[in-house]
A and B are shown apart, each in its own frame.
Chain A
Amino acid sequence: MTDSLRMLAEGFVGALTPTSIIAALIGCLLGTVVGVLPGLGPSTTIALLIPVAFTLEPESALIMMLGVYLGAMYGGSLTSVLMRVPGEAGSIMTAIDGFEMAKQGRAGPALAVSAIGSFIGGTASVIGLTVLAPVIATYALKIGPAEYFSLMLAALLFTSVLLGSDLLKGLISVALGLLVALIGTDLQTGVPRLTFGWSPLLEGVDVIVVLMGLFGVAEVLWFLSHRGEEQGDRLGLRGKLWLTKEDWQRSRSAIARSSVVGFLIGVLPGSGSSLAGVVSYSIEERVSKEPGRMGNGAIEGVAAPETANNAATGGALIPMLTLGVPGSGTTAVLLTVLMIYGIDPGPRMMTDHADIMWTLIASLYLSNVILLLLNLPLIPLFVRILDIPVRFLMPVVLVIAAVGSYSLSNNFADVILLFIFGITGYLMRIVGIPVVPLILAVILAPKMEQSLRQALLLADGAWSTFLTRPISLAFLLSGILILALDLTSKIRTRRSLVPVGAGDDD
């Protein structure tokens, strides 16, 4: 434990340099703005930032992106409260009671508790991350190829079960992702696969292009084609911004509970801020001593989901950082960024690159503080941002995505692919197929195939190795378990509340 604290302290040294602080500031601001704007989410933004990140140092770029991640959770609550439109998936439940409170002229306290709850949830989960990460990392070293394969398989299964409301569609998404990942030249035999004779595909499809297409472009298409359906009235920010003592008392326990709940849910691959919000809200409902309060402007109804969605961020980072397995759209993007910098995802991440990890963790603490300080006074400013007309914003997003993809390898084919994936993402949303499993599959597939081959090699071709090794078996069983749970519809009602969005399900 003291070892961790020491490393954390060293991390703080790195996180408190002027460059890092500025990076964090920019990230937090950008994230909050993005969280406020409908149609753009943290995953999309981080994906769009990737080409920019090439010119920055790894640490600064990562700190900025983490800032965006956290900031978006804070920003999403603004539109929920003021317009009953969630700025991002985690704030869906906030829209219910938050808007009611706004109608009662209590938008101020709603936003305030949102900011405070987000801070507490976020910080608590980073503490959890600090404590648990090294523990998991030591276990992680025992993971060999067989375990790794089973883990990733389980993660994919978890994701297809927990995201969206339909297991079948989730699995289809995974299968599509695997297929996309297979495009290219097989590394072990040098044979082209699924290239259809088109030479740009020999290198395979760049994950980032897939990301920007499925998240960014598809989101724009979807948003613009549904424009005008959600333009609700915008309520003004009247009244004070502070919480009354009663507010505070009611929110306290909600915040405490939701921090823990959010954190745990974040750790599970496939579930993230949206599920955290829904679950914490339902818990408050169950626990509430005054039935009928929830849904009518109860401040706990705002405190709970906002705390939970921020707490989920820290939790989601655990499997990503310690095991190299992303559990959601945004962590998937973050993982891609790490890979770009040559930080190999996997159990070795914490030991080989401990300094970077701890700097990142330290910057998370910092970002939470920054966001708290930024949010409370700047709320009126952020509200003004909503005034930027969509007609300007969306095309610009398209251009940025296009230039971004082009800049990856100076390859025009990437832009073509970008648009193709954009249309595909849009089509997937129409059919109701979730996009995140596809992305996860694309990211995990290469490693999965590699691990599969390595495991078989180590076991001399015995497929039973996946079952005879205990940890591997455990992972596989948990994957099967969650499948079984879904098929017996225990989780189904819960999940039908979670939207099938383009990647904001984190």
Chain B
Amino acid sequence: MVVTIAAVALIGAADIFVPRGLNDALGPRLVPIVVGAALAVLGAILGIRAWISDAAAPPDPGSLVVVGVLIAAMLGFLVLFQLAGFIVTCVLFLGSLFWYLGEQRWWLVLLSAATVSVVVYVLFADLLNVNLPTGPWGF
């Protein structure tokens, strides 16, 4: 947990440095520097406090495995999204997650993944005129 806090402090510190390279007038640089500095200080205080007191246990992050899988799924989604088109990506995404989260009946997994994907597609692409990417297969 202290590590995370240190990370927060580092973000703050890092952000102080970034504006310097990108602009030179005083106005726009002022606020980011102030905020970045404040963040670094607050993060440092938090870190020190946690180190000293060692008090309350941090909230349980839960099953990191599940989170890992979800993140992997999201990454997969991002990668496939533009390559394979929305519908395919969505079906794969939903299907794999439904199955991973416990649904055993593979036919139901496929069916519901496909249904939801199509419904969402129709809803957004046709009704709301959003330009969802289509894959090389034309959908």
Residues in chain A within 8 A of chain B (CB atoms): 51-52, 54-55, 168-169, 171-172, 175-176, 178-179, 182, 186, 188-189, 191-196, 220-222, 224-227, 229, 389-392, 394-396, 398-400, 402-403, 406-407, 410, 412, 415-416, 419, 422-423, 426-427, 429-433, 449, 453
Contact = CB atoms under 8 A, between A and B. Distances in A.
Interface string B100-139: 0111000000001000110010001001111111000000
Contact of B62 (A193, A226, A400): A226
Contact of B32 (A182, A225, A412, A431): A182
Nearest to B37: A175
Interface residues of chain B: helix, strand, loop or mixed (majority)? helix
A225 B62 CA distance: 5
B129 to A, nearest CB: 8
B4 A430 contact: yes
A175 B42 CA distance: 9
Contact of A399 (B63, B78, B94): B94
Nearest to A177: B35
A453 B4 CA distance: 35
A114 to B, nearest CB: 29
Contacts of A172: 8, 39, 42-43, 46
B63 A395 contact: no
B38 A175 contact: yes
B116 A396 contact: yes
Contact of A412 (B23, B82, B127): B82
23 contacts: A52-B128, A55-B127, A171-B38, A172-B8, A175-B42, A178-B35, A189-B28, A191-B22, A224-B70, A229-B62, A391-B101, A391-B102, A396-B94, A396-B116, A398-B93, A399-B94, A410-B130, A415-B81, A426-B67, A429-B59, A430-B58, A431-B4, A432-B59
Contacts of B4: 427, 430-431
Question: Which residue among A390, A391, A431 has the maximum number of chain B CB atoms within 10 Å of its CB?
Answer: A431
Contact of A191 (B23, B61, B63, B116): B23
B43 A415 contact: no
B98 A391 contact: yes
Nearest to A418: B74
A164 to B, nearest CB: 11
B84 interface: no
Interface in B1-44: 1, 4-5, 8, 11-12, 15, 18-19, 22-23, 25, 27-29, 31-32, 35-36, 38-39, 42-43
Contacts of B93: 395, 398-399
Given A175-B38, A431-B58, A189 B27 contact: yes
Contacts of A178: 31, 35
Nearest to A422: B74
Contacts of B15: 179, 194
Given A224-B101, A395-B98, A423-B71, A51 B128 contact: yes
A407 B130 contact: yes
B35 A193 contact: no
B88 interface: no
Contact of A225 (B42, B67, B128): B67
B32 A395 contact: no
Nearest to A407: B130
B45 A168 contact: yes
Closest 9 CB pairs of A and B: A225-B62, A391-B101, A191-B23, A395-B97, A186-B28, A407-B130, A226-B62, A175-B39, A430-B61
Contacts of A403: 86, 120, 124, 130, 132
Given A175-B12, A196-B18, A389-B103, A222 B62 contact: yes
Contacts of B75: 419
A225 B63 CA distance: 5
Given A226-B62, A398-B70, A430-B58, 7 more contacts: A168-B42, A172-B46, A176-B39, A179-B15, A193-B22, A399-B94, A403-B86
Contacts of B94: 395-396, 399
Contact of A192 (B1, B23, B102): B23
B4 to A, nearest CB: 5
Contacts of B38: 171, 175
A392 B112 contact: yes
Given A55-B127, A175-B12, A179-B36, A416 B78 contact: yes
Given A175-B38, A403-B120, A194 B130 contact: no
B5 A51 contact: no
Contacts of A419: 71, 74-75, 78
B35 A175 contact: yes
A337 B96 CA distance: 34
Given A169-B46, A178-B35, A398 B58 contact: no
A497 to B, nearest CB: 15
Contacts of B101: 224, 390-391, 394-395
A179 B35 contact: yes
Contacts of A392: 98, 103, 112
